[in-house]
């Protein structure tokens, strides 16, 4: 089945979400009995193309995604589940940042079980940030390497896209920050680790950090290099979003307190293609199987599944290997989030 976007200003695009019979079959064969009945999705994005500059390379690469659309695909990829969400700002180049955060606020206003992190760049004023936290219900910030003051989104340090004056405000307010680390080794990079150690134990002890994508470990290497430091730092949590390699999950589950782990999807990306974020040595790359003509699968009638389900099956097998019990799984999928975010659910 394929879903068209609901009525939404400026949107006449088809949804990227294509749910196929192979996906449905895979869910009921592999996941239905394993995934908890409640899910708190701690990494999901809303998108409004009307507030992205028409010259931006990110204009219209995704369809508009209001909260109603998120809930629609949640219902389909997680059948028979109750799902709530942490909405985090979507870092697309050319986005009007204040308009994007106002869009999120208008979408979630009155939603008692939904939480949100404000899209934040180094250029944002402290006044605007504080106002959104205090008056518009944002519980934290979403920062991203695209907005690095150095102009280098790949090898920038945390302070290049999250300056110290913003860190000082976040510390005063005692809020959350969802962090997608840069540099080749992500959480395994020595500078990233030393910065997080300084921030959590010395300079900014009141900030609560969510390290997105298993602390940006799309291969085994970053979390393997970083876990011995990270597991001993205070105020560190992880989300499991987007990662499809089983090895980072095994390293995390074997070494970390499961109470510091949140489930997340990284929707809409994770439901927008069939394939995975494949690891190749220390490198990784999104592989969208529909676009690779050489992948003919002549040896089988099975076909690729949604990236989201690749993530879930890797988490499932990692949890079995690491002997994560049912109660711990419930914590990871929803109880940790509702406890830490003070959600009445």
CATH number for the domain including 247?
Answer: 3.20.20.140
- Nearest CA to 42 among 176, 240, 207, 206? 240
d(CA 305, CA 23): 6
- pLDDT given for residue 18 in this prediction: 84
Question: How is 221-254 classified by DSSP, letter by letter?
Answer: HHHHHHHHHHTTSSSEEEE--S---HHHHHHHHH
- pLDDT given for residue 122 in this prediction: 98
- pLDDT given for residue 203 in this prediction: 98
- Residue 14, in any domain of the structure: no
User: Total structural domains in the chain?
Assistant: 1
The H or E element containing residue 41 is strand 38-44
Cβ atoms of 73 and 45 closer than 8 Å: no
Terminal Cα distance for the chain, rounded: 31
pTM given for the model: 0.94
Q: How many CA within 13 A on the CB side of residue 60? A: 7
Task: Find the helix packing angle between 164-173 and 126-135, rounded to 10°.
Answer: 20
Residue 3's φ and ψ, nearest 5 degrees, are -110, 135
- pLDDT given for residue 15 in this prediction: 62
- pLDDT given for residue 277 in this prediction: 97
- Residue 273, in any domain of the structure: yes
- Residue 11, in any domain of the structure: no
- Residue 13, in any domain of the structure: no
d(CA 69, CA 48): 12
Per run of 10 residues, the mean pLDDT along the chain (length 345 residues) is: 34 65 97 98 96 94 93 96 97 95 97 98 98 97 97 97 98 98 97 98 98 98 98 98 98 98 95 96 96 94 97 98 98 98 97
d(CA 84, CA 96): 26
- Residue 304, in any domain of the structure: yes
- Nearest CA to 64 among 78, 81, 50? 50
Count the neighbouring beta carbons within 10 Å of the beta carbon of residue 201. 13
- Residue 160, in any domain of the structure: yes
- Residue 345, in any domain of the structure: no
Residue 167's φ and ψ, nearest 5 degrees, are -65, -40
**Which contacts (CB < 8 Å, 24+ apart) does range 191-200 have?**
191/157, 192/157, 192/158, 192/226, 193/226, 193/229, 193/230, 195/157, 195/158, 195/159, 196/158, 196/229, 196/230, 196/233, 196/236, 197/229, 197/233, 199/158, 199/167, 200/233, 200/234, 200/235, 200/236
- Residue 141, in any domain of the structure: yes
- Nearest CA to 93 among 53, 37, 131? 53
Segments forming the whole domain that contains residue 322: 2-6+21-340
- pLDDT given for residue 335 in this prediction: 98
């Amino acid at each position: 089945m394929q879903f068209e976007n609901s009525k939404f200003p400026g949107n006449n695009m088809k949804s990227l979400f294509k749910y196929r019979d192979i996906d449905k079959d895979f869910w009921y064969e592999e996941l239905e009995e394993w995934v908890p009945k409640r899910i708190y999705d701690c990494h999901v994005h809303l998108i409004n193309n009307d507030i992205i500059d028409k010259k931006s390379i990110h204009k219209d690469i995704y369809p508009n995604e209001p909260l109603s659309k998120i809930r629609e695909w949640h219902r389909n990829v997680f059948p028979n589940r109750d799902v709530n969400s942490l909405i985090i700002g979507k870092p697309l180049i050319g986005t009007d940042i204040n308009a994007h955060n106002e869009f999120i606020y208008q979408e979630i206003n009155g939603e008692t079980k939904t939480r949100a992190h404000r899209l934040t760049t180094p250029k944002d004023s402290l006044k605007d940030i504080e106002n959104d936290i205090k008056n518009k219900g944002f519980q934290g910030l979403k920062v991203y390497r695209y907005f690095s003051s150095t102009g280098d989104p790949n090898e920038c340090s945390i302070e290049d896209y999250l300056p110290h004056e913003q860190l000082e405000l976040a510390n005063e307010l005692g809020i959350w920050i969802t962090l997608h680390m840069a540099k080749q080794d992500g959480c395994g990079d020595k500078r990233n680790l030393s910065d997080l150690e300084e921030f959590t134990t010395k300079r900014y002890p009141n900030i609560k950090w969510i390290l997105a994508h298993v602390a940006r470990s799309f291969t085994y290497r970053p979390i393997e290099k970083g876990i011995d430091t990270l597991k001993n730092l205070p105020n560190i949590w992880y989300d499991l979003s987007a990662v499809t390699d089983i090895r980072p999950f095994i390293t995390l589950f074997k070494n970390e307190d499961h109470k510091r782990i949140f489930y997340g999807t990284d929707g809409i990306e994770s439901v927008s293609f069939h394939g995975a974020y494949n690891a190749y040595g220390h490198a990784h790359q999104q592989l969208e199987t529909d676009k690779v003509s050489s992948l003919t699968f002549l040896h089988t009638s099975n076909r690729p599944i949604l990236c989201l389900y690749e993530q879930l099956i890797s988490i499932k097998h990692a949890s079995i290997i690491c002997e994560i019990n049912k109660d711990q799984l419930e914590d990871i999928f929803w109880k940790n989030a509702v406890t830490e975010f003070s959600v009445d659910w």
